[in-house]
Each structure stands twice: as structure tokens, then as C-alpha cells.
Amino acid sequence: MTLIKSISGIRGTIGGSVGENLTPIDAVKFASAYGTWLKQQLKKGSYRVVVGRDARLSGEMIQNLVMHTLVGLGIKVIDLGLSTTPTVELAVPLEHADGGIILTASHNPKQWNALKLLDAKGEFLNAEEGAKILKIAESDEMSFAEVDDLGEIMTNDAYIDIHIDEVLELSLVNKKAIESCNFKVVVDGVNSTGGIAIPLLLEALGVEPIKLYCDPTGHFPHNPEPLKEHLGDLSAEVKKHNADFGIVVDPDVDRLAFMDENGEMFGEEYTLVACADYVLSKTPGNTVSNMSSTRALRDVTEKHGGTYEASAVGEVNVVNLMKKNKAVIGGEGNGGIIYPDSHYGRDALVGVALFLSLLAEKKMAVSDLRKTYTSYFMSKKKIELTPSLDVDAILKAMEERYKNEDLTTIDGVKIDFSESWAHLRKSNTEPIIRIYTEAKSQEEADALADQIIGEISEVAGL
């Protein structure tokens, strides 16, 4: 059982001991710290926070604990109930709120939950602000409201519909072209809130949704991370219904992957590549993804005359670099689309609408679309180290070893070769180094990863 406190929030497994798991006491303590941080930052008369959750089994319990803790701090809560991460992100500025909390553990299994924290823009907190909240949680700084100053809870269950309306109003969403194609699409909502939002969006775009695991019970029918090995049922349904393609999202609907008409994965890394191809064809500009994402985004960006840049891993880092470089689209290789014309957060609804617009205008099958992009293959491995080893020193030695190559060191060590790359970064929570590689074949990617692991072992004296 686990409790992980980080700058981006708190996540853990339900049940067990206080301080070691995400217990009710831990949820209350962290919600108290967040509310206290808001009041310290803003120092005004009244405060508003938007709260929403995915459908996991512990969601209602954790949400009630969080909301009533905020009420105890004198904060007004806008309760979205069952929602999605991007929906909450959109709702914060629309409600003129001071922040937001999303109760979701993203792709983690059902025993996990988490509090994800937003600022007044509906964006994730930066490292400095997250660190302040962690410090407050371990202090005696929290002071609650007296009885006449308690907050209140206002329910608003319209925001998924509002979110869909916002997507439909995006200038690059070609609803007319999509409607003319009479698409039929299978949706795997992993029995969470994607099962509500994605079919509603498809219907609004004139697409026929075939629902698979779209009942938001929180009983995930398979591992909720949208990877090929978990999606045999989706593949079978796409072929059974002769569908144009399949869609799968994670429980909080910020990750998006597609399956082609043959029941084969389009490639989660290529969700962003395809959406960027469409956006860049209409609005040329720059793109950003994190350092562990596919080089194919750079290729498609340069094809359209733009500049690609890579950020450190983490959504807030991607967003910061997008703003700095005025990127017209960005995101992460895990299927996260960030489209600034909507908002600065990963959004599967936006991704679905852009992908459908691309397909409708190109008038080609999903499998044929995939062939238009350079194929890269990834290997994701890790090497476990003893706690006594200095991981930073090991990475510094690897940096020295490859000093004559194209190196980036903002997040571990990224080595760019002419036909491949390797990214080495340490885990924030355990004594391991993660090794991601990419090459023109799976064999080459695996071989490069094994080579790097061997060199790390040599440097570390293992």
C-alpha cells in the first residue's frame, strides 16, 4: 500500500494506515493544506474552488471529504460530480474560481485515488506552489472558519455538456465534414467518465458511437492504462461492428488512443502526431512535447515549417514551454493533447474532435493515415539501483561519456543520435533509472536500451 506526496498533488491506495495510504485523514489534511494555501496567496474576502471526480469506487467518499473540508475553511465549492480532468480545468476559469481539485488517479488501478490541484487558470500548479502546499500539510498553519463563516456547496452537473459545446465551437473542428462521413466508432470508456463524455461528443458531431464499458461504475473491466495489451475487447468490437475505428481513454479522460479499422493500435504516441499534423496544416507554428515522446512530432512539425522543442517530463513543464515558444499545439506521447485555443491541459475530447476533422478532410482509412507518418519504435526499461548509490553522479558520468553527442540535461540525460535517441532519468520515488529509447525498428530500440543499461551498470560498478 502506498502514499505518494509530490508537488503535483497526493495519490495513494485506499485503506490502511494514516500517512502510509490515502486514508480519510490524509485526504482531509491535504485538502486543508490546499485551501489554506489559496487563502494565504489571495488574502481576500471569499474563495471558490471547483471539484470533480472520475468514477472510481472511492471517488464519492474522497470527494465528500475534500468538499466538506473546504467548506470548513470558509470556501465555496462548485461540485461537478462525475466529470473529467479537462472538464474541471475548463470549469475553473468559467466559474471565476480560485482553483480546482480533481479526484482521480488517472490510469492507476481501482485501489488508487488522488487529489490533483489546479490554479485559478485551471492549470496544474508549478513546483514552487506545490512545495508550499506540502509544507503547509506538515505544519500547524491551518485555521478553520467559525460557524458563521463556513463555506457552502453548489452543485453544477452541466459542465460535460458545456465542455462539449466549447469543443464544437473551436474553429478547426470541422463538424460539417465529420457529419458527412457517417463515421461509426467503438468507444472503450473503461467504465469511468469517458463513457459519458466521449459518446455525447461523438453524437454531437454526427458520429455513431458503439459503447463498450461506458457505464461509469468504477469497476474497471481491464487495466485502465490505454495500452495494446489491455485492449483485446476493443479490437474485437471494432472488427465485429465493421467500425471506422476505436477510441479508448483513461479513467479521467486526459489520455487518448485510437485503434484502426482492422483492430490494430494506431499508436498512443501518434495521437499527438496526427492532431498536430491537422492543426499545423491550418495554423502553422511551433510544437512542444516532453523529452520522452516520439521524434515523429518533430518530423511533422518541420514538414509544416515549424519548430519543435522538448520539455522536461511533466504536464506543467510542457505547458510552460508551450507558452514560452507560442506553440499552437503540444502534449505528451502518452496520448495527451494540449491545444491552447481550448485550454492548457491534456484533453481527450479536443483530441477526438481534431482527429475526426483530419480523417474527414483526408477521406482515408485510419490505417492508411498511420502509414503517412514515419514509424518509430520505443523501448521503455529501467535499472534498479541500491539506495546507497548516487544516481546524480551516475547520470553525470553518462553525460560525460556522451559529451560529443547532441545532449539535453534539463531532465536527466537525453542523447539524440541521427537515427535514434535515449533518455535516462531518475525516479522521484524509488532508486531506479528509467531508460527510454526510440529507433527505426523495435530491435534497434531494444538494443540501444540494453546498451545504455550495460553502460550504467559499468559506471555504477554493478
Q: Which residues are catalytic?
A: 106
Q: From CA 459, how far away is CA 454, in angstroms rounded?
A: 9
Could you count the other beta carbons within 10 Å of the beta carbon of residue 46? Answer: 11
Whose CA is closest to 283, among 306, 299, 310, 302? 306
DSSP-derived letter for residue 18 is B
Q: Residue 458: how many CA atoms within 13 Å on its side-chain side?
A: 9
Whose CA is closest to 73, among 27, 125, 38? 38
Q: From CA 174, how far away is CA 110, in angstroms rounded?
A: 36
Could you count the other beta carbons within 10 Å of the beta carbon of residue 386? Answer: 8
DSSP-derived letter for residue 145 is P
47 in Cβ contact with 38 (< 8 Å): yes
Coil vs helix vs strand at 21: strand
Residue spans of alpha helices (H) in 169-243:
175-181, 194-204, 232-240
**Phi, psi of 415, deg, nearest 5:** -110, 115
